[in-house]
Structure 1
Amino acid sequence: MKKGMIWTVLGVIVAIVVAWIVVDVVLKLVFFAAKLVVVAIVALIVFFVLRSLFARRDA
């Protein structure tokens, strides 16, 4: 094997490892953001349900 070929193979391996890490981090951030949105929506629904229940009791 020529020296240039070895560096090319090593470069490809490093590129794959870096891409794997970057994609993993990006997907974790996307899932975390989606989870926050879902939690906020559920919290709003629970808030309005509880508010309507307590408003009926006070009336």
Structure 2
Amino acid sequence: MKSSSLVWTILGVIVAIVIAWFLVNILFSVVAVIFKLIIVAVVALIVFLVLRSVFARRDG
């Protein structure tokens, strides 16, 4: 193996690691936002149901 080929291989590995690092960070950010939206939707649904039952008892 030539030394220039070894240098390009090492640089390729470093570039691949850097790209993978950014992609994983973006993926985790997207997953965190989706998870947060799901939690907000569930809590909002629970609050809505509680408020609806409170006002239904008042009217009834």
> TM-score, with normalisation over the residues of structure 2?
0.92
Matches within 5 A, 1:16-55: 16-55=17-56
Which structure 2 segments of 5+ residues have no match?
none
Which structure 1 segments of 5+ residues have no match?
none
| Deviation >4 Å, runs of 4+ | none
AA aligned to 1:4 is S
Offset at 1:17?
Answer: 0.2
AA aligned to 1:7 is W
Rounded Cα–Cα distance in structure 2 between residues aligned with 1:42 and 1:28: 21
AA aligned to 1:8 is T
**Number of paired residues?**
59
Q: Deviations over 1:31-58 (max 9, x none)?
A: 1111111100000000000001111111
Is residue 2:4 matched to residue 1:3? yes
AA aligned to 2:3 is K
